[in-house]
Structure 1
Amino acid sequence: MKKLSKKITLLAATLLAGGTLATPAVLAGETESVSAKTGSVSAQAGISGQSDISASFSATPFSATSSLNGESNIILTSGGGSVTVTDARGTGAGYALKVSATPLTRTGDKAKYYLTASNSSSVSVVGSTDSSDNPSVNSLSSVSLSDDENSSSSLKTITLATASNKGTTGSTHQGMGTFTIGLPTYSVTIPVNAYAGTYTSTITYSIDNTPS
Structure 2
Amino acid sequence: MMKKTIIGFTLLSALLVSGSQSVFAVESTSKGNILLTTDETATPPVEPGEEPDDGTTTGMTGSLTIDYVPNFNFVQAQGGLSGTFSDTKTKNVQVTDKRGTGSGWNLDVSITPFKDSDKVIKGATITLPGTAEKGNQVNTSEAITTQENSNIMVNSDVSTPINIAMAGKNEGMGTWLVKFQNASMDIPEGNVLGNYSSTFTWTLSSTPIE
TM-score over 0.5 for the pair: yes
Contact 2:84–2:184 (CA under 8 A) maintained in structure 1: no
Match of 1:95 in 2: 105
Contact 2:92–2:177 (CA under 8 A) maintained in structure 1: yes
Q: TM-score, normalised by structure 1?
A: 0.60
1:54 is aligned with what amino acid?
T
For the pair shown, the structure with the greater C-alpha radius of gyration is 1
2:36 is aligned with what amino acid?
I
Question: Which is strand-richer, 1 or 2?
Answer: 2
How far 1:62 sits from its partner (Å)?
2.3
Contact 2:132–2:146 (CA under 8 A) maintained in structure 1: yes
2:68 is aligned with what amino acid?
F
The alignment status of 1:115 with 2:125, answered yes or no, reads yes
How far 1:162 sits from its partner (Å)?
0.6
Spell out the pairing of 1:5-20 with structure 2 (5 A cutoff).
none
SS in 1 for 2:131: coil
More divergent stretch after superposition (177-186 vs 96-105): 177-186
The alignment status of 1:156 with 2:160, answered yes or no, reads yes
Residue 110 and residue 56 in structure 1: after superposition, are their counterparts in 2 closer, same or farther (change >3 A)? closer
Q: TM-score, normalised by structure 2?
A: 0.60
SS in 2 for 1:161: strand
Residue 203 and residue 114 in structure 1: after superposition, are their counterparts in 2 closer, same or farther (change >3 A)? farther
1:159 is aligned with what amino acid?
N
Equivalent residue for 2:95, pick from 68, 85, 88: 85
Contact 2:122–2:191 (CA under 8 A) maintained in structure 1: no
1:67 is aligned with what amino acid?
G
**Structure 2, unaligned stretches of length 5 or more?**
1-27, 40-61
Measure the CA separation in 2 of the matches of 1:109 and 1:54: 35
The alignment status of 1:194 with 2:164, answered yes or no, reads no
Q: Which runs of 4+ in 1 moved over 4 A?
A: 39-45
